[in-house]
A = this chain, B = another copy of it.
Amino acid sequence: MARHTVYTIATDLGISPSTVSKIINHTGHFSDDLRKRVLDHIKSIGYVPATSARVLRSRKTWTIGVIYLEESHIGLEHPFFSGILQSFKDEVEKKGYDLTFIVKQVGTNEMSYLNWCINKKIDGVLIVVGSHNNPEVIELVESDIPCISTDVMREHLHTIISDNDQGIRLSVEHAIEIGRTNIGMVSGPLTAKHFLYRFQKLKEVMNEQGIPYHEENMISTKGFGYTSGYEAATELLNRTSRRPDMLLVGSDLLAFGVIHAIEDLGYIVPKDIAVIGYDDISFARMSKPSLSTIRQNIEEIGKIAAEKLLDMIEKGLKNETKLTRIPVELVVRDSTKTQ
């Protein structure tokens, strides 16, 4: 574990430090013989360039920052987001990049996301969970640092997200298929744009299909968790004058709460009210009744996000407003099985 540097290696081999450096970085032309000698020696002593020096000099860190949690108290525990993160991680690792969580202090100084990134010379940023009007996130997106999002949608930001149009459409078509046209929706918090968007889309699709849209059967939750779903569904069912026979829910997690609320009110899923979730987290198939849902292609979202971000980093592209939609898939399970 003696400290090796390009200097010690150069001395060992009787050559110059810059030769070592160039061979390591595949720059310049050298005899195959010399190259082999250097590479072999490096491998045998287990040398690896000191990142800090390399970064200081060349301004590339091979590091991607992750903005993970915001006001919304979703943590790493959330299966959907952690799934995306996992897939993203797998992809960037292949290319030699490394992930780090963006926090707002270095050592003991508080600082903004942007400053943090500049300071750490982060190559790029993944926004997994953010909020579209957080000033610090905006500042970051408007900067020269390549950003990609799998959540927030904004100007000057490329967002990779499920095709929500298709998701809503599939849900409604499925409802019609099983003969349910009194459709309601329990959406996630409207602070997230795509929940808002899904409401609009639902209205649109129902119109197209000639199904009446009743405002009283639409509700949005306060939070992202089970309890939020439970509470919203209870409220909806208690207040409505025309009980829906099908509920579209913003996420599987919420859907579990919704189902239990329905059951606690004495109704049966799916006989009285069918329920379809969104996400297809692993527990969807383990619950009783198992949950029909719109499967988001988490792996693909993470993978595409990684590809796009690395592309921006490597080609030095600037952030631009863009939306990439990843197809979703209808998964029919017991919560919408009628007969």
> Which residues on A are within 8 Å of B, measured CB to CB?
1, 46, 48-53, 55-56, 61-63, 75-77, 79, 82-83, 85-86, 89, 93, 96, 98-101, 103, 105-109, 111-112, 115-116, 118-121, 143, 225-226, 256-257, 260, 282-283, 285-288
Whether A51 and B99, one on each chain, are in contact in the complex, defined by CB atoms closer than 8 angstroms, is no
Whether A52 and B46, one on each chain, are in contact in the complex, defined by CB atoms closer than 8 angstroms, is no
- Which one of A77, A103, A111, A287 has the greatest number of beta carbons of chain B within 10 Å? A77
Q: Which residues of B contact A109 (CB under 8 A)?
A: 48
Q: Which residues of B contact A260 (CB under 8 A)?
A: 286
Whether A121 and B52, one on each chain, are in contact in the complex, defined by CB atoms closer than 8 angstroms, is yes
- Kindly report which residue of chain B lies nearest to residue A290, judged by CB atoms: B260
Whether A111 and B52, one on each chain, are in contact in the complex, defined by CB atoms closer than 8 angstroms, is no
Q: Which residues of B contact A82 (CB under 8 A)?
A: 75-77, 82
Whether A93 and B103, one on each chain, are in contact in the complex, defined by CB atoms closer than 8 angstroms, is yes
Known: A55-B52, A62-B107, A118-B1. A75 touches B86 (CB 8 A): yes
Question: Which of B48, B53, B119, B285 is close to A118, meaning CB atoms less than 8 Å apart?
Answer: B48
Whether A121 and B50, one on each chain, are in contact in the complex, defined by CB atoms closer than 8 angstroms, is yes
Whether A121 and B83, one on each chain, are in contact in the complex, defined by CB atoms closer than 8 angstroms, is no
Whether A56 and B52, one on each chain, are in contact in the complex, defined by CB atoms closer than 8 angstroms, is yes
Whether A53 and B51, one on each chain, are in contact in the complex, defined by CB atoms closer than 8 angstroms, is no
